[in-house]
Structure 1
Amino acid sequence: MTRPEILILGSVNRDLIVHAPRLPLPGETLRGQRFGSCLGGKGANQAVAAARLGARVALAARVGLQENGAALVAQLVAEGVDTRAVVQPADEAPGVALIVVGAEDAENQIVTVAGSNGTLPLAQVEALDMAGLRWLVAQQELPLQSIARAFERAHAAGAKTVLNAAPYRPGCERLLPLVDLLVVNALEAQALMATLGGAAATPEALADALRRQGPAAVLVSLGGDGLCWADADGPRRVPARAVKAVDTVGAGDTLVGALVTALAEGRPVAAALAFALAAAALAVSRAGVQDAMPRRAEVEALLNLNPAAGSSPLIDSPDRA
């Protein structure tokens, strides 16, 4: 089997999704419109997004076999994700995410239970084969000490690291010196900045301030307003593509999976960001999470095959073998 160029260290959940007319107020009961259950978790989502876009991607995770956890791993395999680093303990249950999607604005509320995600041990991280990796990606639904050790090992192996600091957790600021690319939404960026004892009035200021904490680059996602990117050349805004949002669940994971796919290919920053935003735009225009994630041909068609210009020391790399 071909070695992966991207390793996602992340969570695998069973998503329980309710669609409602809008998000409920505190203490309010609403009549839902429909319900569904599917493979989810930020790690699984990002791995599937990258695989659909043509990346050689592996997932390192812990998926308990109770409550039919094996079916979640089977779905990952069917999507083309390398699951050789997925451990399946028989005495644990997989993580669960309860998701409500409001029809009025396509916004969502999510509550997660870690399950086997929360038990990912350092021993599993030490056993990971990182030879030939270009990028290691992690989120924060796993133990932070396991993420820190994975980043240390990735750097030792010559790979770059991405931290999607979601959901926000106190203590994650200690990971920043190990991070090459930090990806956060506006709320996560503000929470992280507050933990660091600072404040910023604009997304540009937030991104630039966080970059000064260690990462070579910072991406602050702004939903329908696009994103803000900051690197050694300073911060800049990149607008989103205009689409009618149907369901925003998983849009951030699509963005991360698409971005790291483009970076692993050696695309310059401008082109990588355009690719990621196009993938996210397609995802939010459809219902579902992984079902809504686009294939590569769809993203290329939306981009109309027009390459973007620009480069960055962060992603300069030789052509893929």
Structure 2
Amino acid sequence: MTTVAVLGSINLDAVTVCERFPTAGETVIGRSVTFSRGGKGANQAAAAARAGATVTFIGAVGDDGAGERVLAPLVAAGVDIARVRRVPGPTGFACVTVDGAGENTIVVVPGANAAVTLDDGDCAAIAAADVLLLQLEIPPATVLAAARIARAAGTAVLLNPSPVRELPDGLWAAVDAVIVNHEEERALADRLGRVPHVITTLGADGARWRSGSGTVTESAVRVAVVDTTGAGDAFAGALAAAWGTPPRTALRQANAAGAEAVGFAGAERHTTTHPTSM
């Protein structure tokens, strides 16, 4: 069984569903609001655990009531949260709006995620894992430190460089694989040539794996789309769980996880939903 350490963000998500996005200055009536656990790091950790990996999540929550609320679904998914730090201040928060076509807009307030650092226990967990999975919703310096620890220990480093931002010197050299969508691939084209493996999600067209051995493409699983929130994170977590298997096998598992994620609103199944009526 693959052991995966996920270092990243965890949020309380408020997901509102409406027929269409409002224009600037406009108010529209929504259909429902859902409160759930989110954050790219936590989403990916839960997905990796559901895909069969042994997962440790490294991150931070605030000292507010939201902290315990967002950790409970991770525990339910089988993720080890012993390395989650409690810090003063609010837990990370995201406001997600989903339109009638399943597309979304997201505003994120980092909260405790901005305070994520590494202690000796975190470093030991990274060094002991088969795979370290990283994103960019926590301080870049912490991401770089973790990648270097993993590289020195022989742990495979998978980076989902989202949201796209300036990265510290040396990070690309410590990464074994990047997981990007088509837009991120274009934005980072000049950097991706330095990375041995580039895995690109292509939406309805599936996913592509490029490496020195060639290119493998796997078709998407056709499903009805409710909400695309968290689909990329589900893909990344499942891919990390399948790391070490042939690329086509890993892509097939990751595509299936991404397809499952678009079938419900928000990034987490365990939600509290409040419909509206007008």
- TM-score, scaled relative to structure 1: 0.79
What letter is aligned with 1:99?
Answer: V
Higher percent of residues as strand: 2
Once the two structures are superposed, residues 139-159 of structure 1 have per-residue CA deviations (whole angstroms, 9 ceiling, x without a partner) of 000111110110110111111
Letter of the 1:274 counterpart: R
AA of the residue aligned to 1:17: V
Q: Are residues 1:139 and 2:122 paired?
A: no
Residue 113 of structure 2: aligned partner: 117
In structure 2, what is the Cα distance between the partners aligned to 1:289 and 1:171? 26
Gaps of 5+ in 1: 197-209, 293-321
Q: Counterpart in 1 of 2:10?
A: 12
Structure 1 residues 125, 225: CA separation in 2 closer, same or farther (over 3 Å shift)? Answer: farther
Query: Deviation string for 1:265-315 (max 9, x for gaps)?
Result: x321111101111121122133332218xxxxxxxxxxxxxxxxxxxxxxx
Would the aligned equivalents of 2:8 and 2:41 in 1 still touch at CA under 8 Å?
yes
Q: Look up the match of 1:47.
A: 45
Task: Identify the match of residue 164 of structure 1 among 160, 164, 175.
Answer: 160
Q: RMSD in angstroms over aligned alpha carbons?
A: 2.1
Task: Provide the secondary structure at the position in 2 that maps to 1:242.
Answer: coil
CA deviation digits over 1:83-104, x for unaligned, max 9?
Answer: 1111112x2211001100111x
Q: Is the 8 A contact 2:216 2:247 kept in 1?
A: no
**2:104 paired with 1:108:** yes
How many Å apart are 1:226 and its aligned residue? 1.5
The structure-2 alpha-carbon separation of the partners of 1:281 and 1:57, relative to structure 1 and needing over 3 Å to count, comes to same
Comparing 27-36 with 67-76, greater Cα deviation is found at 67-76
Aligned to 2:276: none
1:229 offset after TM fit, Å? Answer: 1.6
Question: 1:284 corresponds to which residue?
Answer: 262
Task: Give the CA deviation at 1:237.
Answer: 3.2
Give the superposition deviation at 1:130: 3.0
Q: Kindly tell me: are residues 139 and 131 of structure 1, through their superposed partners in 2, closer, same or farther at Cα, counting changes over 3 Å?
A: closer
Provide the C-alpha distance between the structure 1 equivalents of 2:39 and 2:269, rounded to a whole number of angstroms. 14
> Cα distance 1:182–1:42, how it changes in 2: closer, same or farther (>3 A)?
same
- CA shift for structure 1 position 79: 2.0
Deviates more, 1:41-50 or 1:68-77: 68-77
Within 1, Cα distance between the matches of 2:58 and 2:209? 28
Show the 5 A alignment for 1:13-162.
13-89=11-87, 91-103=88-100, 105-123=101-119, 127-162=123-158
Unaligned runs of 5+ in 2: 271-278
Deviation of residue 221 (structure 1)?
A: 1.2
Residue 233, structure 1, aligned to residue 213, structure 2 = yes
Compared CA separation, residues 143 and 124, structure 1 to 2 (3 A): farther
Q: Percent identity?
A: 38
SS of residue in 2 equivalent to 1:26: coil
Q: Decide which of 194, 197, 218 is 2:198's aligned counterpart.
A: 218
Paired amino acid for 1:134: D
CA distance in 2, matches of 1:57, 1:234: 30
